[in-house]
Structure 1
């Protein structure tokens, strides 16, 4: 197993609140994506290395060109990655049935978009992990093109680069800069171990304030 897959699997066992707490303590308090980007299935957690995509709305586009670039997106995303898309558009769906099935078959861990999704029932049934802002049946054909891959993007106040890590669950989405990713994951795992000790102490009758003072975590 390569290093990025190992770290992705470890991160997916964590939760966004603990990741945020660690990033905040390390001086990175503004790494959460807008809270209106929500999971298609709230029971699914998603984590992995980021592959960035951006695009643009243009209703003068040739339908063939839009589909050519969309299939390029499906082709370029590497196995084991999480695609994060800044569509620069709030009208269309930027993920659907066949695309989700294709990405799942390729081993893509999931898809996060600051935009829309359709065919949500099908995507939910196959278990592909999608986080989006809204749903609409309106597709991209002749209206939207993916025109940039692996370039820096921004969603909300967060700068996102290919190679960063992302952790997403029902509470929100947190982006971890690549250069501190392993350190963050190790610290989060330590937080989870400490939280388990605090919980065990309280369940055994220890006063919550005393438990906090002993372990330094609550």
Structure 2
């Protein structure tokens, strides 16, 4: 496994998450859409990157005094400082947004270091500030308290659950205004190629529907003429 190639990354930036969901469903992957997580601000470019993970567990008072953040090896801080360029920091916050997964200072640092985005199934503090960054960020809802209240950052770059989806380090996340899809790393190239073709065909269908054509036999293409027309249509490009 050589990681996410530049070519595949660029292809995925042009593909919608609903199209990826359909492609993965056809391959038998039915639970790859992260649930109850949304962008802090819509209209940003599509987020694409390999998963770099952080796992929280329930906090315990004797392990999480305020001075814990002074420790250079604190996992939350280490994750921010070691997430590779082009990767997405994915946080397992146990689907609990009552305590913050991070705030605007840490997210800004992650952005400056060249990460591709950040995702949590919990929440962020300073969410309005994070929303205005030129950086894709996804969460459940805003969180005012610190992560000390309920969460302890524990493990870095291990398999996690985020929004009811298994996320393994190196899996590829694609996020847009419709949501986030998790693509298993070993099939990402073929998914990107198939989705490019699916998107091309859907553009053809949209054009025909806008011209007044019925969807019967067109979508799905159950009429032979539809596929012939599609082949002719592709010659224009």
TM-score (structure 1 length as normaliser) = 0.89
Q: Which residue of 2 aligns with 1:78?
A: 84
Q: Which residue of 1 aligns with 2:126?
A: 119
Which digits, 9 at most, give the CA deviation of each residue in 1:144-167, with x for residues without a partner? 332111111123442110110111
Q: Which residue of 2 aligns with 1:62?
A: 65
After TM superposition, give the deviation of residue 123 of structure 1 in Å. Answer: 1.2
Aligned-partner Cα distance in 1 for 2:4–2:172: 12
Answer whether contact 1:66 1:144 (CA < 8 A) is retained. no
Q: 1:6 to 1:141 in 2, by over 3 A?
A: farther
1:25 aligned onto 2:17: no
Count of residue pairs the alignment pairs up: 215
Q: Which residue of 1 aligns with 2:141?
A: 134
Runs of 4+ in 1 over 6 A off after TM superposition: none
Aligned-partner Cα distance in 1 for 2:119–2:162: 11
Q: 1:198 to 1:143 in 2, by over 3 A?
A: closer
Q: Which residue of 1 aligns with 2:37?
A: 37
Q: Where do 1:97-116 residues align within 5 Å?
A: 97-116=104-123
Q: Where do 1:197-212 residues align within 5 Å?
A: 197-212=204-219
Which digits, 9 at most, give the CA deviation of each residue in 1:109-136, with x for residues without a partner? 1111010111122112222211111212
Unpaired runs of at least 5, structure 1? none
After TM superposition, give the deviation of residue 22 of structure 1 in Å. Answer: 0.3
Q: 1:59 to 1:114 in 2, by over 3 A?
A: same
After TM superposition, give the deviation of residue 97 of structure 1 in Å. Answer: 1.1
Secondary structure of 2:22's match? helix
Find the structure with the greater CA-based Rg.
2
Q: Which moved more, 1:66-75 or 1:24-33?
A: 66-75
After TM superposition, give the deviation of residue 179 of structure 1 in Å. Answer: 0.8
Unpaired runs of at least 5, structure 2? 231-237
Aligned-partner Cα distance in 2 for 1:139–1:152: 24
Secondary structure of 1:135's match? coil
Answer whether contact 1:52 1:150 (CA < 8 A) is retained. yes
Q: CA RMSD in A?
A: 2.2
Answer whether contact 1:95 1:117 (CA < 8 A) is retained. yes
Answer whether contact 1:54 1:147 (CA < 8 A) is retained. yes
TM-score (structure 2 length as normaliser) = 0.82
Which digits, 9 at most, give the CA deviation of each residue in 1:52-86, with x for residues without a partner? 11012324213233453321111121110011110
Q: Which residue of 2 aligns with 1:179?
A: 186
Answer whether contact 1:63 1:143 (CA < 8 A) is retained. no
